[in-house]
Chain A
Amino acid sequence: MELLELEAYRVPSRFKDWIRILRTTIYEDGPTRIHLKIPTVDPIFIQSLTRYLKEKRKSYLADLPIETIVHVLDEASRRWLDQNYPLRRLALKVIPQITGFSQEVVAASIDAEMESSLREDLWRALSLEIGDPLFLNDFQYSPLLGGYSRAFGPELMVSIFSENIPALPHLLFMRSALIKSACLGKVAAGEPTFAPLYLKTIEEIDPEMAECMAVLYWQGGTTEIESILFEEADAVVLFGGVETCKALLEKVPRNVKTVVHGHRLGFGVIGQQNMKRQKLERLAEAVALDCSMFDQQACLAPHLYYLEEGGEVGPKEFCEAVAAAMERLNQKMPRGRLTAHEASTIHQLRASYELREIKGEEVRVLASPSGTDWTVVYERDPGVFSPSPLNRFIRFYGVEDIFQIPSSLKSVGPFLQNAAVAIGDRREKEFIKVLGELGVSRITSPGKMALPSMMWHHDGISPLASLLRWCDVEKKEDF
């Protein structure tokens, strides 16, 4: 059996010998044997490391032209998109075994993330948020100001990842580099390997830039480490559930900029004009893809889809087409391994829907022929937004009129994020306006839910601009 040794951390070269291994986690119930080394982290180490990262930022990254930075990040994405890139191949062996996702799901995640992280995307994201990216290089004349402006990023950005979505942590290292900030990321126990590999790629392309970045792992909630770290940072980006983020925020000093990406909900809406036989298969494929990417575990994924009645194709027939597409997709991109709790929840929920169907309620359950691979449930809109148990379990709510939907979204307003909208007639504009007011921060087409662009205001925030500090020169007098 092949043995792979990996580290759940990556630190600048001079710190490598300092790291002591706390323990080695062994994964051996798959085709390869993985030894994952978990580091020992203590406050003194954190203090030295963060100071070093800031020094390296000052001596290198802070003066690196933004064009060069974009070039390095673009090159990193291109390498990861190359099927033969050794680190990608390694990630595709390791991440499925650690997370339970199938190899196909992990590959699709990497592709989705990296395809939206190319030169053009980065440049456009900078331009959208900052106007002229050159403000990051030096003072530039700003005609509206009638003076000169320059944008400064934080010295050190700390990011806490708390989930297992592969290829997501690279986003934060990219963003920190784009604003010329050093970055220290804490990976989640659920998927600690991608971020260290990504930093290895940066090191291959620009070793000096990699000296401004570090990835560590420690038991989340370790106050002595987190407090010191937040003291040393001037920006903190948190990912995680309400309780996790709340506990972390209490440790962040008030003068530190914070951005929180809490757990979110997605959904989709298809209007009667799009419930057509001619479009059925293509739309069903698109919806199935939304529900299957990242096995529905990303916040971008839909928990449910609303279907408007009165179209050429009824909601039940639509569900049958989606079920067939879910099965086809599961052949191509199999659903991953579940925990006992996840599988049990799906069985229990399926049974309660099945009994309601048997009772004669207007309910339909369509499920994978074996196991819990996928589940499609149809019911009339109960007026409540029920979160899905995820892992390719999707509810379809039939509605008479799409404008019934917003009232049931109100209760989950603070958690809304991503919506696939395909109304197909003039009402779409008004409907989108209502969703925007409710808190939705991204509207897209079915099939594209998992593929936000780099330009998206992530959770309604300008992810780059919100971390910048500006210096303006308003000086017109001659002294």
Chain B
Amino acid sequence: MRELDKEVRDLDERILHFIGKGIDNQDEKTFNQLALEIFELQVKWIPLYRRYCEKRGILPEKISSWEEIPALPTDAFKVAELAMFPSQIVRTFLTSGTTRPEERGKVHYDEGGLRLMDGTIQTAAASFLFPDGMKTKILIIAPSPEIAPSMIMAYGMNRLREFFGLPQSGFLVTEKGFEVETLVRELRSSENEGIPVTICGGSFGFVNFFDYCHERGLRFKLPVGSRTLDAGGFKGRSREVKREDFVRECEEILGIRTEYSINLLGMTEIGSQFYDSTLRNFYQGLSLPVAKVNPPWTRTVVVDPENLKPLPEGETGLLKHYDLANRGHILAIQTDDLGRRTPEGFEVFGRSKDEATRGCSLTIDEMTRIERGR
């Protein structure tokens, strides 16, 4: 066991080193090497995944490229424990279970896995959220990890606060719910004192805050350098808002330049985060279309929903992610998110949904809506 610990610790160090090289690192060879090493360990130590790969005839000795590593669909985490070292789990996050609340997936992290996630948070945020190196007051429209220990967003936002926040930073969702008046007070004091803020949290929390401001005619003129980071979509917990309208509301209500409103794609099953390139491009003086950018320790492939084979750039399909920060569970994850590759990165359109009624049989989605309505 001690021996193994050393092997894994050594691998984690090399992954951390790779992450630490920043987001301009183009070392494809090392990425591939690390991905294959992680795959080998996961096949060795996660028996369910090993048998899953064996059934597909794909084993470490047979492949030479990360692209061949079998991806596990996200729903697998709902029925199976997929940790590399079950005895060393220090943290378990639950998926948000947007279709069936009672079936939430469990994603486990060991100490090393958490360090990898911390590394990705630090490196990615430094490039995409704070390319100017500015320290801001971070106001988080999400609960703290103490209140929501199994929510990965709470964990990640807390790390952002620790790594990048001024001392006045804090969480605005408590046991009592969203403390919207505290947020208003904090924003006013920032206006008065000229301290830039970063508001971050669930996208629906922002929209509910915008509605609150509309009702009361509230407007802010936040100091230059203030920014927003939203993630997670609306999930039926606020009105649905198109991206351009979201950004416009950030500008109108908060006084934040459109380039300073950033969306993030994060998933419980994935240790890394995918940011919009907006602010980074703006800071570098580049005029490029907005896209989610893969940090060098990740890859995202768009696959055909029917046969799960890769699609060319521009075609819409399901997103499949490969993430070195997933060393502790499963490296390759097949998601239910629709998106497409663009020359700049990739776009995500959200979870695939019932597009139209087809037959006259009761569908799972309809049944779920009826059950929820009860």
| A contact residues vs B (CB 8 Å cutoff) | 99, 162-165, 168, 188-190, 239-244, 261, 263-266, 294-299, 301, 303, 338-341, 343-345, 347-349, 351-352, 354-356, 358-359, 370-372, 387-390, 415
Contact = CB atoms under 8 A, between A and B. Distances in A.
A438 to B, nearest CB: 15
A340 B318 contact: yes
Contacts, number: 136
Interface string B295-307: 0000000000111
Nearest to B105: A352
Contact of A348 (B73, B316, B366): B73
Contact of A299 (B51, B55, B305, B362): B362
Contact of B336 (A348, A356, A359): A348
A265 B370 CA distance: 14
Nearest to B371: A411
Interface range, B side: 35 or more
A163 B52 contact: no
Interface in B270-313: 305-308
B352 A352 contact: no
B79 interface: yes
A241 B364 contact: no
Interface of B: 48, 51-52, 55, 72-76, 78-80, 305-308, 316-318, 334, 336, 338, 352-364, 366-367, 369-370
Given A352-B78, A359-B48, A389-B364, A339 B73 contact: no
Contact of A352 (B79, B358, B361, B363): B79
Contacts of B364: 345, 387-389
Most buried by B among A163, A344, A371: A344
A343 B306 contact: yes
A389 B361 CA distance: 10
B355 A341 contact: yes
21 contacts: A163-B360, A239-B360, A240-B360, A241-B357, A243-B366, A261-B360, A263-B360, A265-B362, A294-B359, A338-B306, A339-B355, A341-B353, A341-B354, A343-B306, A347-B305, A351-B72, A352-B78, A355-B80, A359-B48, A371-B307, A390-B361
A343 B308 CA distance: 10
The A interface, classified by DSSP as helix, strand, loop or mixed, is: mixed
A170 B171 CA distance: 60
A355 B76 contact: yes
Contacts of A162: 357
> Which 8 A-B residue pairings sit nearest by Cβ, starting from the closest?
A297-B359, A341-B352, A351-B73, A343-B305, A348-B75, A340-B305, A263-B362, A299-B360
A296 to B, nearest CB: 7
Nearest to A162: B357
Contacts of B356: 189-190
B72 A165 contact: no
